[in-house]
Amino acid sequence: MTNTTPTAPTAPARPAAGREIAKTNGEAQASTYGSTSIADVVVQKIAGLATREISGVHALGGGAARAFSAIRERIPGASSSAGQGVSVEVGEKQAAVDVQILVEYGVSIADLANAVRRNVITSVERMTGLEVVEVNINVTDVHIPSEDDTTDTPDTGRVL
């Protein structure tokens, strides 16, 4: 006689190191009353704004992206992109986010990365209903206040 004890259904496993997100390229989330399509740029902007909310994040993007943004900000009427430094992969029900950040000197990078990750996941999942399967954070530089280009102090060539 075999034991046929019913087993509880298991939750689907999250993807491991490699992303296994089914790309939909704009396919909609289906519901009883219609469908909802969320563009990649929407998730990108949400993740960018959520990252900027964390104290200790000085800027987003790599050096070239920040330089281009600085030029764009000098153009009257232009503004920096909320999604700068963020790339996303959006599937039908899941999303993966990559963020490039410049951190303030003295901040614990490990703690900052955890705070950014939590805030991005919370914001994207709350606003879109997508499951965020991963948030990869690439720290591209450390901002040292004496390197700030906006200071009015002339460069004396002194090393502090």
Each residue's pLDDT tens digit, 46-101: 999 999 999 999 999 875 544 545 554 555 655 556 778 999 999 999 999 999 99
What is the longest distance spanned by two Cα atoms in the chain? 89
Answer yes or no: are the C-beta atoms of 54 and 119 closer than 8 Å. yes
Each residue's pLDDT tens digit, 126-146: 999 999 999 999 999 999 987
Three-state DSSP at 12 gives coil
Q: What is the pTM of this model?
A: 0.66
Measured CA to CA, the distance from residue 81 to residue 100 in angstroms comes to 14
What is the per-residue pLDDT for 29? 61
| Structural domains of the chain in order of their starting residue, each with its CATH number | 38-146 (3.30.70.1350)
Three-state DSSP at 88 gives strand
